[in-house]
C-alpha cells in the first residue's frame, strides 16, 4: 500500500466538489383558500429562475471550482499494468496567481493517494508553454522539484479555450514521478462551474463536439520498453434530456511524441504507424449535471492483429443551460485484444460544447 502526503510550492489546479443538500417531506393540514373576488383575476407567479456562473477566464481571489478527476497508478516506470481510481475526491481553489489542489482516493488494489499541492503561476515554478502542432499555445506546464520526485501540472490556456468558445470549464493534468523505484501517478482533472440542476434542459437532444487530449502508452511484445504518446482526435457526445441517456464516441487518430510536446517545442511531427482507436460510450447516464459512462473500443483489425479495450468516463455539464461538457476518462486493453502491443492503455480528458 502506498500512502503519500505532499505539500508543494506554487501552481495549481484545483476545484471543489459542489455540495448537495437534502430535504424532508411533511404533510400539511388541509387549508381552505379564500375565494377570488368576482372583479379580480387569479395571480400567477411567472418569475423565471436565474442562474449565475463564473467564467474560467479571469483572476479570482478565492475561487473554489467544481472539479472531477480520475487517477492512474504505476508502481514504477517498468510496470506493464496500472491501477486506476474511478472516483477521486478532489478540490481546486484559485487564489490570484496560485492554486491549491487536494486529491484523495483508493484503487481497487488498495493503493491510497493523498495529495495537497500548492502551485503558483507567477514564475516561481518552472513554466513551459505547450503548443499544438500548428504552433498555437494551448496550455502551460508547471514543474516542481519534490524531496522524492517531480510534480508536473499542465493547465489549459484559458485565453485559448475562450477562442474556442469554451468559457466555463478547463482541463488540467497532474503527474508525479518519484525517484528510486519511480512510481508514476497521473491525474487528469476537469474544473469549472457545474450547471445547476434547475438550469438543465428536460426535453430534446443535444450534440456536443468534443476534443480529446490523452496519454497513450504501449509496450511492444518484447516487454522491454514502453512508448508514451500524446493522442489527439475528435468525437461527439449526445444527451437525450428526456431519458437522461448519454451516448457518443471518441476517435484517437493523431499521435505525437509525449516528451517532445511536454518540452515546449512549437514544431513537432506526427508519429506514424499507430492504429486509430474508437471509444464508444455505453450505458451513459446524466444525473443532474453529472455524466457517467463505460467505454468500449471498437475491435479494430490491423495487419498486426485486433485492438480492443474497455474503460470508464466521468464528466459533467458546465455553465449556462449545460452548453459545455467535459470529462476525465481511461481505457485499458482487454482480453480480446490480439495486437502486437503486449499492453496498452490511454488516459486523459475531453472538452466540448
- Residue 111's pLDDT is 86
Whole-number Å distance between alpha carbons of 189 and 177: 17
Residue carrying C-alpha cell 457517467: 292
Angle at 330 between CA 325 and CA 336, to 5 degrees: 130
Whole-number Å distance between alpha carbons of 24 and 26: 7
Residues 280 and 307 in one domain: yes
Give which of 186, 170, 336 is closest to 258, Cα–Cα: 186
Cα torsion 74, 79, 84, 88 to 10°: value is: 0
**Alpha-helix residue ranges (DSSP H) falling in the chain:** 158-163, 258-262
Write out pLDDT tens, residues 110-134. Answer: 888 999 999 888 888 999 999 988 8
- The answer to whether the pTM exceeds 0.75 is yes
Residues 224 and 316 in one domain: yes
Instruction: Look up the CATH number of the domain holding residue 155.
Output: 2.40.128
Please give the DSSP secondary-structure letter assigned to residue 11. B
Residues 200 and 296 in one domain: yes
Determine the 3-state secondary structure of 197 from DSSP: helix
Residue 16: pLDDT over 80: no
Domain end among 151, 174, 193: 193
Q: How confident is the model at residue 33 (pLDDT cuts 50, 70, 90)?
A: very low
Instruction: Look up the CATH number of the domain holding residue 261.
Output: 2.40.160.90
Q: Provide the domain limits for residue 118.
A: 1-17+56-193
Residue carrying C-alpha cell 483508493: 106
Instruction: Tell me the residue ranges of DSSP E strands in 135-194.
Output: 137-145, 149-156, 169-178, 184-192
Q: Are 46 and 69 in contact (CB under 8 A)?
A: no
Domain count, the chain: 2
Residue carrying C-alpha cell 481546486: 92
Burial class (CB in 10 A: 0-12, 13-18, 19+), 70: buried
Amino acid at each position: 500500500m502506498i500512502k503519500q502526503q505532499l505539500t508543494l510550492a506554487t501552481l495549481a489546479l484545483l476545484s471543489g466538489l459542489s455540495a448537495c443538500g437534502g430535504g424532508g417531506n411533511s404533510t400539511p393540514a388541509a387549508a381552505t383558500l379564500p375565494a377570488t373576488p368576482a372583479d379580480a383575476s387569479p395571480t400567477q407567479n411567472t418569475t423565471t429562475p436565474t442562474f449565475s456562473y463564473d467564467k474560467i477566464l479571469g483572476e479570482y481571489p478565492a475561487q473554489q471550482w467544481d472539479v472531477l478527476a480520475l487517477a492512474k497508478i504505476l508502481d514504477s516506470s517498468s510496470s506493464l499494468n496500472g491501477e486506476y481510481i474511478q472516483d477521486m475526491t478532489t478540490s481546486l481553489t484559485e487564489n490570484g496567481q496560485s492554486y491549491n489542489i487536494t486529491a484523495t482516493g483508493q484503487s481497487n488494489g488498495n493503493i491510497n493517494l493523498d495529495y495537497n499541492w500548492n502551485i503558483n503561476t507567477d514564475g516561481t515554478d518552472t513554466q513551459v508553454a505547450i503548443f499544438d502542432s500548428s504552433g498555437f499555445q494551448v496550455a502551460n506546464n508547471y514543474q516542481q522539484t519534490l524531496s522524492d520526485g517531480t510534480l508536473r501540472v499542465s493547465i489549459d490556456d484559458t485565453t485559448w479555450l475562450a477562442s474556442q468558445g469554451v468559457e466555463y470549464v478547463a482541463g488540467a493534468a497532474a503527474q508525479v514521478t518519484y525517484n528510486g523505484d519511480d512510481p508514476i501517478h497521473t491525474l487528469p482533472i476537469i474544473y469549472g462551474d457545474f450547471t445547476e440542476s434547475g438550469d438543465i434542459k428536460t426535453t430534446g437532444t443535444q450534440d456536443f463536439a468534443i476534443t480529446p487530449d490523452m496519454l497513450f502508452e504501449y509496450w511492444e511484445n518484447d516487454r522491454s520498453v514502453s512508448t508514451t504518446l500524446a493522442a489527439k482526435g475528435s468525437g461527439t457526445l449526445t444527451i437525450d434530456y428526456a431519458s437522461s441517456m448519454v451516448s457518443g464516441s471518441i476517435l484517437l487518430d493523431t499521435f505525437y511524441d509525449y516528451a517532445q510536446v511536454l518540452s515546449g517545442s512549437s514544431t513537432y511531427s506526427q508519429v506514424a504507424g499507430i492504429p486509430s482507436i474508437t471509444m464508444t460510450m455505453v450505458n451513459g447516464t446524466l444525473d443532474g449535471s453529472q455524466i457517467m459512462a463505460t467505454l468500449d473500443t471498437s475491435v479494430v483489425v490491423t495487419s498486426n492483429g485486433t485492438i480492443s479495450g474497455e474503460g470508464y468516463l466521468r464528466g459533467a455539464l458546465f455553465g449556462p443551460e449545460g452548453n459545455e461538457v467535459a470529462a476525465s476518462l481511461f481505457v485499458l486493453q482487454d482480453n480480446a485484444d490480439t495486437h502486437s502491443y503486449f499492453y496498452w492503455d490511454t488516459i486523459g480528458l475531453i472538452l466540448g460544447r
